Chains A and B, each alone.
Chain A
Amino acid sequence: MTEELDVDVAVVGSGAGGSVVAYHAARSGARTLLLERGPHLHPRDISHDEPEMIARIYKDGGAQTNNAADMFVLQGSCVGGSTVLTNGVCLRIPEPVRRSFAAHGFELPADELARSHERVESVLNVHPLAPSLHNPAVEPLAEGFRRMGHKPGGFRKNFLDCIGCGYCNVGCRYGQKLDAAQTWVPMALDRGAGLRPDTAVERIDHHRGRVLGLLCRDLVTGATLRVRADRYVLGAGAIGTPELLLRSRIKTDLAGRFTSFHVGAIVFGDFPQPLDGFDGDQMCLHVFTDRFLIEQCQNPPVSTALTLPGWYGDHAQRMQRYRHLAALGVLVPTAPTGRVFLGLGHRIARRFFDHADVRFAASRDELTRLAEGMQLAGKAMLAAGATVVHPPLATGRSFASARDLDALPALVRRQSDFVGFGSSHPQGGARAGADPRHNVVGPDFRVHGMDNLFVADASVFPHALGVNPMLGIMAVADRAARFVLDAELPDSIDEGPAHRARQRLAGAAT
């Protein structure tokens, strides 16, 4: 039997984009339903069991790759989406990116975007990471960068009372990372919204430019669910949203095109003294240049083993130096040359290929920039006292001097020359812009040619942000909510865990 639901606003995806719109919709009094493919995990359901958590909260158990299987694409698949897996880094959309989007026809007025950023930051309690939470590898790494003439910076994060356990990437079991599952989603539910986790939206039914309903499947019971609404919002992410558009035959000429990434891999440095980088926040330091970004990324043992380069005996020996290892991730924003599509397998054997495929190959320039970033990361670690650095090369080669590292760019010709090459920041795929001939979504977040279908996630970005995108996606979704609801948003949001903590502290002070 098919269950039927009638609401005012149906939101697909509960990550950085969908959760924000769902909250605003519920707050406005609209009957709101939030649909999420993944499970709903409470902090008590989250553990430090890395394999189990990777299996449960990452899309495809962390094994989503591009078509050539030489690039991992990591995304969350649970209530809260990828915000549950982030290191809590909160960076605003850079002004040059905002201007570049505007030049493309996707206008985000500076003052309105600033207000959106502020609103989101207030809900997420964004503040500079306390030095007491720094892991012990930060100081030597910072010193290494200073010796190389770079000034490392810290991060602003969305934490409340963080204890620096070092397990951000498998979700926060203490409920202290204010991701979407801790903020926007419960705030929306408190305002009367409904939530359907473990529910896959399989198709959007539409006729003559108007969405008639969503055909969904309950992944636990297998039951079919049909959702009817006045307005529909897609927030399923840069792969899920174009996939759903393609499955539903909406804008098939453009959906999935112009996908971009922040591609990267991790460089390890082996220090003579134990650093115990696992003991504190995983990501405390960054160096940004106009060619690449470098961000610290210490990991617990399993994730370290999965990203540490080296084959068999070499890898095992390097892991023996776990306490001595510092890790720096190098990220490069790519051009929007990727594509999300439904492959041949999806058409002829859907049972085995019931997913979108991702095609992406980094350009020579992008690989060169990645290699340059690895050079700088490696040299900084050597300058800080590391005896050897392990860049993520498929050959497993290590480097013991800065001079040797100069050869690095010449060793990299294709992305399969790396190990652990991947991205956790896919963007684009349902690009926003004024011209319907070249863009899926208009500047008002409405899908071109559709009356009541909106997109409010990273897929609207014309190109990669160049910084960790969570805060930017939420700010853009905050703006999208205005168009979806056709109403002004409140200046401030006085609810949620951060607001309650502020009130408690204010009460204690008086």
Chain B
Amino acid sequence: MTLPLNGYLALALIAAVPLAPLWLPLLPLVIWWWRRETRIGRELGYAALPRFAAEAIAAHAEAAFGVAPEGGWTVVARNVDRYLNAVDSPRHWRTFGVLTILAFAPWLRLQPRLAALPLPRRRRFLERHLRTTRGFLLVPSLARQLVRMGYYHDRGIAAALGFRTVNQRRQEPARAAASAASGAKVAG
């Protein structure tokens, strides 16, 4: 079944209505938990991410990439945090919804949350269940783009790929000579 992203969120809400007697009493607890996770996130230095989301991003990165950034996997979460903190968008809350679903998606398979899964099982979970561009699991799979952004933004990782920054390129002798000879190109 293919639905719009908002459709899945609406469906989740509708599904939650008959279960209201169960979760409504828990709602204050959930709000308390979310605030606590956000506060702990702040204490850990995250401006936008609650702790569980940062842990999910780091855990996802560890399972998806072989080589850790020099500062460890939390670097990926910190890069994502900087991005999210800079975004100003009315759709922003959806990103946090996606990250929450990612963090707890293994519960749907009666497994511990993503960050608590041992690495081989985590890798298996991602490969088996989040390799999709359709259906409900599209939602957590969207988080892979955030994780990729956070990982490849690391300077050491980019350098290991062979990428050279503009300053590094400018220091190459042939480039420096060509640059000195260049000037404005004007039409007309």
Binding site for B on A (CB under 8 A): 48-52, 54-56, 59-61, 63-65, 67-70, 121-122, 125-127, 130, 132, 159-163, 165-167, 219, 274, 276, 278-279, 300-302, 304-306, 311-313, 315-316, 319-320, 322-323, 343, 345, 352-355, 357, 394, 396, 416-419, 498, 501-502, 504-505
> Are the C-beta atoms of B63 and A312 separated by less than 8 Å?
yes
Chain B residues within an 8 Å CB radius of A167: 166
> Are the C-beta atoms of B182 and A161 separated by less than 8 Å?
yes
Residue in A48, A68, A121, A320 whose beta carbon sits within 8 Å of that of B2 in the complex: A68
Among all A-B residue pairs, the 9 with the closest Cβ atoms = A61-B87, A55-B86, A127-B187, A69-B5, A51-B83, A323-B162, A60-B89, A322-B161, A67-B4
> Are the C-beta atoms of A302 and B152 separated by less than 8 Å?
yes
Tell which of A51, A313, A322 has the most Cβ of chain B within 10 Å: A51
> Are the C-beta atoms of B64 and A312 separated by less than 8 Å?
yes
A498 to chain B, nearest CB (A): 6
> Are the C-beta atoms of B5 and A65 separated by less than 8 Å?
yes
> How many residues on B have C-beta within 8 angstroms of the other chain's C-beta atoms?
59
User: Looking across the interface, which residue of chain A has its beta carbon closest to that of B162?
Assistant: A323
Chain A residues within an 8 Å CB radius of B138: 69-70, 416
Chain A residues within an 8 Å CB radius of B3: 68
Task: Compute how far the CA of A320 lies from the CA of B160 in the bound complex, rounded to whole angstroms.
Answer: 8
A350 to chain B, nearest CB (A): 9
Task: Compute how far the CA of A60 lies from the CA of B95 in the bound complex, rounded to whole angstroms.
Answer: 11
Decide if B169 is an interface residue (CB 8 Å cutoff): yes
Task: Compute how far the CA of A163 lies from the CA of B66 in the bound complex, rounded to whole angstroms.
Answer: 35
B151 to chain A, nearest CB (A): 7
> Are the C-beta atoms of A160 and B89 separated by less than 8 Å?
no
* CB interface residues, B 52-109, toward A, < 8 Å: 63-66, 79-80, 82-93, 95
> Are the C-beta atoms of A51 and B150 separated by less than 8 Å?
yes
User: Looking across the interface, which residue of chain B has its beta carbon closest to that of A124?
Assistant: B187
The answer to whether A306 and B149 touch (CB under 8 A), given A127-B186, A312-B127, is yes
B49 to chain A, nearest CB (A): 13
> Are the C-beta atoms of B89 and A63 separated by less than 8 Å?
yes
Decide if B142 is an interface residue (CB 8 Å cutoff): yes
> Are the C-beta atoms of B161 and A163 separated by less than 8 Å?
no
Chain A residues within an 8 Å CB radius of B82: 51-52, 55
Binding site for A on B (CB under 8 A): 2-6, 63-66, 79-80, 82-93, 95, 123, 126-127, 131-134, 138, 142, 144-145, 148-153, 157-158, 161-166, 169, 178-179, 182-188
Residue in B66, B134, B169, B187 whose beta carbon sits within 8 Å of that of A121 in the complex: B187
> Are the C-beta atoms of A68 and B5 separated by less than 8 Å?
yes
Residue in B2, B91, B144 whose beta carbon sits within 8 Å of that of A60 in the complex: B91
A selection of 16 A-B contacts at a CB cut-off of 8 Å is A51-B83, A60-B87, A63-B91, A67-B4, A69-B142, A160-B185, A278-B163, A301-B153, A302-B149, A322-B161, A322-B163, A355-B89, A394-B134, A396-B131, A416-B2, A501-B186
The answer to whether A305 and B152 touch (CB under 8 A), given A69-B4, A69-B138, A165-B166, is yes
Task: Compute how far the CA of A306 lies from the CA of B147 in the bound complex, rounded to whole angstroms.
Answer: 10
> Are the C-beta atoms of B188 and A122 separated by less than 8 Å?
yes
A450 to chain B, nearest CB (A): 27
> Are the C-beta atoms of B184 and A501 separated by less than 8 Å?
yes
Chain A residues within an 8 Å CB radius of B85: 55
Tell which of A159, A274, A306 has the most Cβ of chain B within 10 Å: A306
A83 to chain B, nearest CB (A): 18
B7 to chain A, nearest CB (A): 8
> Are the C-beta atoms of B133 and A394 separated by less than 8 Å?
yes
Chain A residues within an 8 Å CB radius of B145: 306
The answer to whether A125 and B161 touch (CB under 8 A), given A163-B166, A163-B179, A279-B169, is no
